[in-house]
């Protein structure tokens, strides 16, 4: 670590290096704080005690409620002192202690006095403290002063009020929004920081008003912003306006000239902000990009590491979308590979890997090899991922890239790093067939000396899948069998399974594999022996070359068809008893992914962690799930499953949604339940359904959920019989019934005795749309013509007053639950008539086409002509009935 450049004698003083806070103890300091109560205050002593308190707080120490209250009351006494230094400390201390609402009252009057003081600095500080500790009621009382303070001629007072406004906007938005005029005035301030704070606050106040933001940007871009910080804010707001403006045509993009002008600003911060804003424009053109890339290129060779970092970080992002635009910077970036700051070097390398062409790969790899040895694992992982992408981009270069990966695999590194490399090799093997054999051999060599059990077992599993399909599977056997001698029990067991897979898949190897498997029968681990026994017995352990049956293969190596997470949870919940574990009790419902993950754009390549095949579609999954339940097995083919309908509000104790499964003569409600209380275990969970408002439905079966532990979703089902082939509708009220058992949070064990309880759920409706499948047609006109007018039914309806034509169109689409065709669900603005085309399949597999013609009748009234064609006239009538009764 660098030592300060200090004179010798100073140095000696420092050598005595004991901390003024040496041996500091909270209890002792709290005792010392009693000096605040002295009638004759000693400001110096009091300041020292406050410093100690601050030291404690800044070390992460916390005060109990009682301690904090005691100190706070004592500190308030210090307002009596006229000592300026001490007063400043008092302000800080109160903010740090942030007293509770009932205590605030003690200081309010002192602070109000300071806030109206003639001394500007008292005002500024009192504003900050008051705003830190205030609540809504007090804020209304001081609002008048705050508004005045915003336009105060002293910039410190104005800034204090504005920054307070930024904080208060989070808690009391309606009050702060009333300050718009004053804040607007402060934006024009000559003081740079006031302008910066005012702009930030004004934007936050108006951020939901697109027009106002547009106006703000329009007026400020004409050139009245003084501080570089404010200018940066303005650039950000400008790019927001550009993003939101409908016009994405580069030729007349608004404000581009302003951004381009900022590239010539004197502050580097502003130049960079403008460059970044330009690179992030939607559909940015090369012409627009060029000036921004040029300034970023200049920053690449700056002496300031932050500028180099900022530039290479931005170029790295640009390289993802416009690699060609960045190639001019490649030479500058190559020199950054040796940058002392490893973050910069890593970003440079990964950018180069994105922008490089096939011919430069070898040269780059040489440079990277030297670089890899002196960076941390987290950077290495980034590089490995970049190399993986490069290899997928240039498959012909797989040899050198694979060699690189295998070399770094042999070097020192932590688990995450090694896993990243192994994952990359696996992905390359899967995607580049030519790389398969070399890749597998690299992995084989790696497991010869692999210290991570997880990776060894995963690789063995992968070898079992891919190895038998190679031209010479026998060459992998040695590596696998070595594991049986040299590794721990987990790896040995995995090796036995892999050997068995080779035996099952490659008949010529089978006799020799059996010899090896028989040797495993004497292993000292139960699991290893059990596996060997199982494989030998099921695969025909007599050593004769016989074809292994598909059933056996499926039994041994087929997928479990159950989400592994659910299996794991069920196994954890299973208590060893006389009753053996029932694999069919494991829920098959895949836990819903968090929304954020679903939204993630593009599919990331997956390594060993995930199987290559994607999950089955929802309908398939439901069908499989329902057919696995004996009670519903004879219901026939599943016609439609609805999207889940929430039956509880967000963040309730139990989250329940329902999926309606429609069969020809039955309806099954699948209630997906989640218990969100860690201290509870629910058992025997059922939903009691009252179908008194659904006359045509009769309950025939109910499948309770045996156990619903915390945060592990499960399902319970209720099935109803209904008249075959008809679209029976009705309303169902639902009550969740269960036995609740307390769970000890420390041990996770549930009490033996439980209490029966109920939980009211929302009502559920089966509507006509549940009986129609959304099935589109590619050419509606052709389909309409070929269907013919035999079963056509036409009628007109008055839809009454509607908010807009679009609203009426959407309401009918939702009512029918059919698929809009040819984009006709979109109603152009201000149109007075519209035609919408729908298609679907009605229960009983009858195709239906619908032509809806809407017209505005008077200012708001909507009239509709409905024409239905189908293969069955009763279905055409049914559609009309749905509309008539909807």
Partner 1 sequence: MLLAILVSNSAGNILLERFNGIPSEERLHWRTFMVKLGADNLKGARNEELFVASQKSVYIVYTVLGGVCIYIVGKDDYDELALTEVMFVITSSIKDACGKSPSERLFLDKYGKICLCLDEIVWQGILENTEKERIKRLIGLKPPNPTES
For 101, the 3-state DSSP assignment is helix
- Contact pick of 42, 73, 81, 92 for partner 1 (by CB under 8 A): 92
Smallest distance, Å, CB 316 to partner 1?
Answer: 11
Smallest distance, Å, CB 281 to partner 1?
Answer: 18
Any idea what DSSP says for residue 710? B
- Contact pick of 68, 106, 112, 163 for partner 1 (by CB under 8 A): 163
Regarding 317 and contact with partner 1 (CB under 8 A), the answer is no
Beta carbons within 8 Å of 173's beta carbon, 6+ residues apart? none
Regarding 597 and contact with partner 1 (CB under 8 A), the answer is no
Regarding 35 and contact with partner 1 (CB under 8 A), the answer is no
- For residues 749 and 728, what is the distance between their CA atoms, to the nearest angstrom? 46
Alpha carbon separation from 83 to 21, 79, 106, 280 (Å, rounded): 24, 9, 20, 53
Stretch that binds partner 1, among 188-196, 283-291, 827-835, 875-883 (CB under 8 A): 188-196
Stretch that binds partner 1, among 86-94, 361-369, 421-429, 435-443 (CB under 8 A): 86-94
- Measured at the CA of 586, the angle between CA 581 and CA 587, to 5 degrees, comes to 165
For 513-538, give one letter per residue: b (16+ CB within 10 A) or e: bbebbeebeebeeeebbebbbbbbeb
Smallest distance, Å, CB 747 to partner 1?
Answer: 22
The tokens for 402 are 């694979």
Residue 53: half-sphere exposure toward Cβ, Cα within 13 Å: 28
Smallest distance, Å, CB 54 to partner 1?
Answer: 5
Q: Which is nearer to partner 1, 3 or 249 (CB)?
A: 3
Regarding 156 and contact with partner 1 (CB under 8 A), the answer is yes
Q: How far is CA 387 from its chain centroid?
A: 25
Element (H, E) at 76: helix 65-76
Q: 826, 809, 821, 884: which is closest to 848 by C-alpha?
A: 821
Letters for 44-83 (x = contact with partner 1 by CB under 8 A, - = none) are: ---xx-xx--xx--xxx-x---------------------
Smallest distance, Å, CB 353 to partner 1?
Answer: 18
Beta carbons within 8 Å of 669's beta carbon, 6+ residues apart? 658, 659, 660, 661, 687, 689, 717, 718, 719, 720, 732, 764
- For residues 877 and 870, what is the distance between their CA atoms, to the nearest angstrom? 10
Is there a contact between 182 and 147 (Cβ–Cβ < 8 Å)? yes
Stretch that binds partner 1, among 153-161, 401-409, 566-574, 763-771 (CB under 8 A): 153-161
Q: Which is nearer to partner 1, 268 or 631 (CB)?
A: 268
Q: Which is nearer to partner 1, 5 or 283 (CB)?
A: 5
Stretch that binds partner 1, among 150-158, 446-454, 459-467, 788-796 (CB under 8 A): 150-158
Alpha carbon separation from 808 to 509, 801, 882 (Å, rounded): 70, 9, 15
Regarding 515 and contact with partner 1 (CB under 8 A), the answer is no
- For residues 495 and 476, what is the distance between their CA atoms, to the nearest angstrom? 11
687: β partners: 736
Q: Which is nearer to partner 1, 344 or 862 (CB)?
A: 344
Q: Which residues 239-268 are close enough to bind partner 1 by CB under 8 A?
A: 268
Q: Which is nearer to partner 1, 50 or 812 (CB)?
A: 50
Letters for 438-457 (x = contact with partner 1 by CB under 8 A, - = none) are: --------------------
Q: Which residues 9-28 are close enough to bind partner 1 by CB under 8 A?
A: 10, 13-14, 16-21
For 597, the 3-state DSSP assignment is helix
Q: Which is nearer to partner 1, 71 or 846 (CB)?
A: 71
Letters for 679-718 (x = contact with partner 1 by CB under 8 A, - = none) are: ----------------------------------------
- Contact pick of 12, 178, 215, 236 for partner 1 (by CB under 8 A): 236
Residue at token pair 């959304």: 774
- For residues 848 and 613, what is the distance between their CA atoms, to the nearest angstrom? 35
- For residues 683 and 587, what is the distance between their CA atoms, to the nearest angstrom? 14
Smallest distance, Å, CB 480 to partner 1?
Answer: 39
Smallest distance, Å, CB 473 to partner 1?
Answer: 43
Q: Which residues 277-306 are close enough to bind partner 1 by CB under 8 A?
A: 304-306
Stretch that binds partner 1, among 152-160, 424-432, 588-596, 807-815 (CB under 8 A): 152-160
Q: Which is nearer to partner 1, 269 or 556 (CB)?
A: 269
Smallest distance, Å, CB 72 to partner 1?
Answer: 17
Smallest distance, Å, CB 509 to partner 1?
Answer: 48
The secondary structure of the chain in percent helix, strand, coil, rounded to multiples of 5, reads 55, 15, 30
Q: Which is nearer to partner 1, 135 or 814 (CB)?
A: 135
Regarding 197 and contact with partner 1 (CB under 8 A), the answer is yes
Q: Where are the alpha helices (DSSP H) in 117-154?
A: 120-133, 136-150
- For residues 557 and 551, what is the distance between their CA atoms, to the nearest angstrom? 10
- Contact pick of 26, 95, 393, 591 for partner 1 (by CB under 8 A): 95
- Contact pick of 186, 275, 310, 477 for partner 1 (by CB under 8 A): 310
- For residues 185 and 206, what is the distance between their CA atoms, to the nearest angstrom? 15
Q: How far apart are the first and last CA of the chain?
A: 77
Smallest distance, Å, CB 196 to partner 1?
Answer: 8
Smallest distance, Å, CB 225 to partner 1?
Answer: 13
Q: Which is nearer to partner 1, 303 or 559 (CB)?
A: 303
For 412, the 3-state DSSP assignment is coil
Stretch that binds partner 1, among 87-95, 436-444, 663-671, 789-797 (CB under 8 A): 87-95
Regarding 678 and contact with partner 1 (CB under 8 A), the answer is no
Smallest distance, Å, CB 527 to partner 1?
Answer: 37
Stretch that binds partner 1, among 171-179, 282-290, 309-317, 457-465 (CB under 8 A): 309-317
- Contact pick of 4, 27, 602, 859 for partner 1 (by CB under 8 A): 4
- For residues 146 and 167, what is the distance between their CA atoms, to the nearest angstrom? 13
Alpha carbon separation from 2 to 5, 6, 423 (Å, rounded): 9, 12, 41
Element (H, E) at 353: helix 342-355
Regarding 596 and contact with partner 1 (CB under 8 A), the answer is no
Regarding 341 and contact with partner 1 (CB under 8 A), the answer is yes
Q: Which is nearer to partner 1, 343 or 715 (CB)?
A: 343
Beta carbons within 8 Å of 575's beta carbon, 6+ residues apart? none
Q: Which residues 99-138 are close enough to bind partner 1 by CB under 8 A?
A: 119-122, 124-125, 128, 132
Smallest distance, Å, CB 147 to partner 1?
Answer: 19
- For residues 522 and 534, what is the distance between their CA atoms, to the nearest angstrom? 14
Q: Which is nearer to partner 1, 303 or 747 (CB)?
A: 303
Element (H, E) at 448: helix 436-448
Is there a contact between 850 and 879 (Cβ–Cβ < 8 Å)? yes
- Contact pick of 88, 475, 553, 706 for partner 1 (by CB under 8 A): 88
Is there a contact between 355 and 361 (Cβ–Cβ < 8 Å)? no
Q: How many residues bind partner 1 (CB under 8 A)?
A: 76
Regarding 159 and contact with partner 1 (CB under 8 A), the answer is yes
- For residues 699 and 806, what is the distance between their CA atoms, to the nearest angstrom? 39
Regarding 485 and contact with partner 1 (CB under 8 A), the answer is no
Q: Which is nearer to partner 1, 89 or 262 (CB)?
A: 89
Length of the chain: 886
Q: Which residues 205-234 are close enough to bind partner 1 by CB under 8 A?
A: 226, 229, 232-233
Helices (H) and strands (E) in the chain, counts: 38, 17
Q: Which residues 372-431 are close enough to bind partner 1 by CB under 8 A?
A: 376
């Amino acid at each position: 670590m660098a030592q300060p450049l200090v004179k010798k004698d100073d140095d000696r003083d420092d050598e005595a290096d004991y901390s003024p806070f040496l041996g500091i103890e909270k209890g002792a300091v709290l005792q010392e704080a009693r000096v605040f109560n002295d009638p004759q205050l000693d400001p110096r002593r009091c300041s020292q005690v406050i410093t100690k308190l601050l030291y404690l707080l800044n070390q992460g120490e916390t005060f109990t409620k009682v301690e904090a209250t005691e100190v706070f009351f004592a500190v308030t006494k210090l307002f009596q002192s006229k000592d300026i230094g001490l007063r400043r400390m008092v302000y800080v201390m109160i903010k740090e202690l942030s007293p509770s609402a009932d205590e605030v009252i003690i200081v309010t009057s002192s602070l109000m006095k300071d806030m109206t003081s003639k001394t500007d600095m008292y005002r500024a500080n009192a504003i900050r403290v008051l705003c830190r500790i205030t609540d809504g009621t007090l804020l209304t009382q001081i609002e008048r002063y705050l508004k005045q303070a915003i336009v105060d001629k002293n910039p410190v007072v104005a800034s204090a009020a504005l920054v307070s406004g930024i904080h208060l906007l989070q808690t009391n938005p309606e009050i702060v929004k009333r300050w718009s005029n004053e804040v607007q005035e402060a934006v024009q301030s000559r003081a740079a920081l006031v302008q910066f704070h005012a702009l930030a606050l004004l934007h936050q106040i108006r951020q939901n008003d697109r027009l106002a933001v547009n106006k703000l940007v329009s007026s400020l871009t004409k050139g009245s912003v003084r501080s570089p910080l404010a200018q940066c804010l303005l650039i950000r707001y400008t790019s927001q306006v550009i993003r939101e403006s409908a016009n994405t045509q580069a030729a007349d993009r608004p404000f581009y000239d302003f951004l381009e002008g900022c590239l010539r600003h004197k502050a580097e911060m502003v130049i960079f902000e403008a460059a970044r804003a330009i690179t992030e424009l939607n559909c940015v053109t090369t012409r627009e990009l060029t000036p921004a890339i040029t300034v970023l290129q200049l920053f690449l060779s700056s002496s300031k590491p932050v500028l180099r970092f900022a530039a290479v970080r931005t170029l790295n992002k640009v390289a993802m979308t416009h690699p060609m635009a960045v190639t001019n910077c490649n030479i500058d970036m190559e020199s950054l590979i040796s940058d002392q700051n490893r973050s910069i070097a890593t970003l440079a390398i990964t950018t180069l890997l994105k922008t490089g062409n096939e011919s430069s790969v070898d040269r780059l790899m040489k440079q990277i090899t030297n670089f890899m040895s002196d960076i941390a694992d987290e950077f290495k992982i980034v590089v490995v991922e970049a190399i993986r992408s490069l290899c997928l981009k240039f498959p012909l270069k797989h040899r050198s890239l694979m060699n690189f990966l295998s070399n770094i695999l042999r070097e020192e590194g932590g688990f995450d790093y090694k896993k990243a490399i192994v994952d990359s090799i696996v992905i390359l093997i899967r995607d580049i067939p030519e790389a398969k054999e070399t890749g597998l051999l690299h992995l084989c060599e790696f497991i010869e000396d692999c210290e991570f059990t997880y990776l060894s077992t995963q690789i063995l599993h992968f070898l079992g899948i891919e190895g038998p399909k190679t031209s010479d599977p026998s060459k992998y056997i040695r590596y696998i069998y070595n594991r049986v001698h040299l590794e721990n029990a987990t790896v040995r067991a995995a090796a036995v399974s892999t050997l068995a897979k080779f035996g099952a898949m490659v008949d010529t190897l089978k006799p020799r594999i059996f010899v090896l498997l028989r040797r495993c029968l004497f292993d000292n681990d139960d699991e290893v022996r059990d596996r060997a026994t199982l494989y030998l017995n099921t695969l025909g352990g007599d050593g004769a070359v016989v074809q292994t049956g598909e059933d056996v293969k499926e039994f041994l190596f087929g997928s479990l068809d159950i989400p592994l997470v659910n299996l794991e949870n069920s196994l954890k919940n299973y208590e060893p008893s006389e009753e053996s574990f029932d694999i069919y009790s494991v829920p098959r419902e895949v836990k819903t992914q968090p929304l954020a993950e679903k939204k993630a754009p593009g599919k990331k390549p997956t390594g060993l962690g995930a199987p290559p095949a994607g999950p089955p579609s929802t309908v398939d999954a439901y069908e499989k799930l329902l057919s696995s339940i004996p009670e519903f097995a004879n219901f026939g083919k599943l016609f439609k499953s609805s999207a889940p309908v929430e039956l509880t509000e967000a963040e309730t104790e139990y989250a329940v949604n329902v999926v309606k499964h429609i069969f020809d003569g039955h309806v099954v409600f699948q209630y997906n339940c989640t218990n969100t209380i860690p201290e509870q275990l629910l058992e025997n969970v059922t939903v009691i359904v009252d179908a008194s408002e659904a006359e045509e439905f009769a309950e025939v079966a109910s499948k309770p959920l045996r156990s619903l532990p915390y945060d592990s979703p499960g399902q319970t089902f209720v099935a109803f019989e209904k008249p075959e082939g008809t679209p029976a509708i009705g309303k169902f009220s639902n009550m969740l019934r269960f036995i609740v058992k307390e769970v000890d949070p420390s041990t996770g064990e549930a009490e033996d005795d439980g209490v029966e309880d109920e939980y009211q759920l929302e009502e559920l409706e089966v509507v006509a749309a549940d009986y129609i499948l959304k099935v589109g047609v590619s050419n509606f006109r052709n389909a309409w013509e070929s269907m013919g007018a035999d079963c056509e039914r036409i009628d007109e309806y008055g839809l009454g007053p509607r908010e807009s034509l679009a609203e009426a169109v959407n309401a009918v689409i939702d009512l029918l639950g059919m698929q809009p065709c040819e984009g006709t669900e979109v109603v152009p603005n201000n149109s007075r008539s519209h035609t919408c085309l729908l298609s679907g399949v009605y229960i009983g597999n009858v195709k239906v086409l619908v032509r809806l013609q809407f017209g505005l009748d008077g200012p708001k009234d909507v009239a509709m002509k409905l024409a239905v064609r189908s293969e069955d006239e009763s279905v055409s009538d049914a559609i009309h009935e749905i509309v008539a009764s909807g």
